[in-house]
Amino acid sequence: MSRIPIVGGNWKCNPAKLAEANALLEAWKAKPFDKEKVEVVIAPTALHLGSVKKTLEGLGMQAAAQNVGKNDMGAFTGEWTATHLTDMEVAWTLIGHSERRSKYGETDDETAVKVEKCQAAGLKVIFCIGEQLEEREAGKTDEVNKRQLAAVLAKITNWDLIVLAYEPVWAIGTGKVATPDQAEETQAAIRAYIKEAVSEEVANK
């Protein structure tokens, strides 16, 4: 089955200034790509999202939020909702990034609520899964990935709005290297689980 590759860039808490973001975007103008053959999604900081989104659209790229709140409108200081993002015409958001899980204590149940909110709002989600070094060394790679996925499966009614992103968290800042073969092996296990838990059609997307 032919798939259009998706290239995602998460800027995390960088750069410090909008001018620096604009300089980076300006450099990309000299590097065109075939929009029919690859989909590019960039997640800038929340404060730069609106401005960067406009420039990305001119480059044939799309903008994503790095996070989304688990609540609806209300007294939730510092949060933003899936509704806010769709109102801004931001098509994508990340959910479940390893840093949200490890540094901010985001649980599997919380990621499930966020996915449910995004499904209701028609927002596309890059859903991140992956194991820590100690989990990999304990042979728990598949167990962790299945657990993180199982939490959200019941919340997904439209798989066209979901992209699964495997993060080899164990190879980030540890001195370990994730080889292409290791990534493909884990990807195959994820597809096998989706086939069993959902359907072969979804697993082959």
What is the set of active-site residues? 97, 167
Helix/strand/coil for 68: coil
Whether residue 115 contacts residue 109, with contact meaning beta carbons closer than 8 Å, is answered with no
Whether residue 54 contacts residue 20, with contact meaning beta carbons closer than 8 Å, is answered with no
Q: String of b and e for 159-178 (b: at least 16 CB within 10 Å)?
A: bebbbbbbbbbbbeeeeeeb
Peptide bond before residue 180 is cis, with ω within 30 degrees of 0: no
